[in-house]
Structure 1
Amino acid sequence: MAEVEILQAGLFSSVQDRGRFGFREFGVPAGGAMDRQAAGMANLLLGNHPDAAVLEITLQGPKMRFFAPAQIAITGAGLSPKLNEKPLDNYKLYKVAAGQVLSFGKRNTGYRAYLAIKGGFQTEQVMGSRSWSPGITEFSRLEKGMKLAFLEGDLSSVSSFSAVKADDYLTSGVIETFPGPEFQLLKASEKDALQKWHFSAARESNRMGIQFQEKIENTLEPIITGPVLPGTVQLTPSGTLIALMRDGQTTGGYPRVLQLSEAGINTLAQRLPGEKFRIEFLEYK
């Protein structure tokens, strides 16, 4: 087993796969990559299993040294990655030699990037997943000096395959959603606000939930506690909208006025706090 050493932790990076499933009845969130499209594309480029663990990097990337040869791919946000100070492109495969250092710099687009390695990062599995989550796994974010294990392989015949970047959503101002279970209980003016206003993510947002800065009128009463999912948008008594994300709770007592599509979750996960977006309603089929 080979390792990569974290020289600088960056802002907030964590190991994630597609999440842990089958434990929601016990209050355990699914977790997993905030932007599943970008994480999935990174694994696809490398020919990894779709559930291989990747490194989710938020806004400011880490700096790391590889102790063995590896093959990597970076997708999602443009965070100016460099290998031994040589610029790398997203959505392209690269060989890494033992001793080389991967770093990140200026943010250009998006909010979260994904670093995949051939075979996936080999961190501990908890409840069938390698995804880090507070209160569930030993670690919840990268720390300086930490070492991540990966499978050392023969890279003599590694290709330099790249993919057409399907990343327009990184700069999209449109979040796709469906009406939530309590949407029809809203007044006409409240529905109108959801469909016409421009919103932005608050700085208090995290992997549990993304809070909208703009408040709308709320005339609804709290509901009996019911199930919620990643992408459920709850309307609090103060008029604040909160979109539950991958580490969000499994039940809630606020009206569920919206349910983001999978594409909507991915897009919202890439919105920088303060960036404007609007809601676009889809129809259930």
Structure 2
Amino acid sequence: MSITVIAPGMLSSFQDRGRLGSQHLGVPVGGAMDKRAHRLANLLAGNSENEATLEITLTGPKLRFNAPCCIAISGADLSPSLNRQALPANRPIIARAGDLLEFGQRKSGARAYLAFHGGVDLWNVLGSVSTHLPGQFGGYHGRALKKGDQLTLRTTLSGQGLEELAAKLWNVRVYLPAILGLMPRTAIRTLRGEHSSLFTVQSIKQFFSAEFRISPQSNRMGYRLEGARLALAKPQQLLSEATSFGTVQVPADGNPIVLMADRQTTGGYPKIAHVATVDLPFLAQCMPGETLSFTEIDLVSAQQLDSQREEAFGRLHQTLTSLRDLFEPYQEQNHGQPQT
């Protein structure tokens, strides 16, 4: 009851919503870079939102299914296909034993999320199966996928009635609210950071008006930005404090860094701004070489946007109750041992 990795892709690792509650131990939160796409893929595959998905970066893997399974793909358009037939995004799809899932040309975005109905047996560390690549723990043996890996499905689908289930799933109508889509943005909505008053007036103006290029020295820990150099009004020594996904720090060279999913737990660089949570998925789908600009919003507006997104997810979860019910008559539970 497994999936064979024929080719791993550039960087494919299992991620959930993160390893929460352990930053005081020096353990990063991690988790999916684009949590919006991660949650969507899970809901459409009939899972809870925190089930691990396979985060696929730029170049996708080639996977062979050795047992029937339902999958869903959200996020970047990396031209997925099943047995050389193009697959739609944001839909539940039945893969049969022997089917081959592949990815082709990147059309948009940087990261796609592949959900497997019922999930995969993975290494749980501190309440999360997210892969922490620098620490080599969590996920599938604490690393990205490699050729020849065998992924054990926790739930597979019975061969009997499979075509009936496939037809029922295909007839499910899925309507995604606009706020759950990846709408193009001319500028990323950002709040002033707690140290913004320490910067020169000119630097604040530049941050909210200039364009910045994402440096090749960017990864899941942080995006280094190149462009206008930002400066403090006078030298400052700051105590290290907890960091957050989306915090924009400015080191001594004046080039800002946006902290991402695998950020360190603490940092002492001054914080000029913080990306609104609702726009983090857009940022996660950007890649080195692309340019960014920032626009300022206030805390109340950011909170309202976040509430609207959560309400939309809540409505979608309720709408998909009938989809989740479809699986019950066809499920077979596997009893593989989680990794240790």
Q: Which residue of 2 aligns with 1:157?
A: 165
Inter-partner Cα distance in structure 2 for 1:133 and 1:170: 29
Whole-Å separation in 2 of the counterparts to 1:162 and 1:27: 44
3-state SS of the aligned residue for 2:208?
Answer: helix
Tell me what 1:265 maps to.
Answer: 280
Quote the RMSD (CA, aligned, Å).
1.6
**1:267 and 1:41 mapped to 2: Cα distance?**
15
TM-score by length of 1: 0.95
Query: Does 2:227 correspond to 1:214?
Result: yes
- The separation in 1 between residues aligned to 2:100 and 2:298, in whole angstroms, is 47
Unaligned residue ranges in structure 2 (runs of 5+): 301-340
Whichever residue aligns with residue 278 of structure 2, its letter is A
Q: Distance in 2 between matches of 1:254 and 1:60?
A: 33
Partner of 1:282: 297
The aligned runs of 1:31-110 (5 Å cut-off) are 31-110=30-109
Matched-pair contact (CA < 8 Å) for 1:209–1:242: yes
TM-score (norm 2): 0.80
1:175-190 to 2 correspondence within 5 Å?
175-190=188-203
Where do 5+ consecutive residues of structure 1 fail to align?
none
Does the Cα contact within 8 Å between 1:229 and 1:244 map onto a contact in 2? Answer: yes
Matched residue type, 1:227: A
Counterpart CA distance in 1 for 2:123 and 2:173 is 30
Q: 93-102 vs 214-223, which deviates more?
A: 214-223
Q: Verify: 1:148 aligned to 2:162, yes or no.
A: no
Alpha carbons 2:12, 2:55 under 8 Å: kept = yes
User: Please, which moves more after superposition, 163-172 or 136-145?
Assistant: 163-172
Q: CA deviation at 1:255?
A: 0.2
Cα offset, 1:221, TM superposition: 2.4
Give me the whole-angstrom Cα distance separating, in 2, the residues matched to 1:200 and 1:119.
40
Tell me which moved more, 206-215 or 230-239: 206-215
3-state DSSP class of the match of 1:43? Answer: helix
Q: How far apart, in 1, do the equivalents of 2:237 and 2:147 lie?
A: 43
Task: Kindly indicate which of the two structures has a greater share of residues assigned to strand.
Answer: 1
Q: Secondary structure of the equivalent of 2:280?
A: helix
What amino acid sits opposite 1:132 in the alignment? Answer: T
Q: Percent identity of the aligned residues?
A: 37
**Between Structure 1 and Structure 2, how many residues are aligned?**
284
Distance 1:170 1:29, change over 3 A: farther
Equivalent pair of 2:6/2:148 in contact (CA under 8 Å)? yes
Question: How far is 1:47 from its partner?
Answer: 2.2
Match of 1:191 in 2: 204
**Between 109-118 and 213-222, the greater mean CA deviation after superposition:** 213-222
Corresponding residue number in structure 2 for 1:235: 250
C-alpha separation in 1, matches of 2:173 and 2:195 = 44
Cα offsets for 1:147-191 (capped at 9, x unmatched)? 112121344424123534557536433212211110122111000
Counterpart CA distance in 2 for 1:46 and 1:214 is 41
From the CA coordinates, give the structure whose radius of gyration is larger: 2
Deviation per residue, 1:219-252 (Å, 9 max, x gap): 2524111111111110010011111111101110
What is the CA-CA distance between 1:139 and the residue it aligns to?
Answer: 2.3
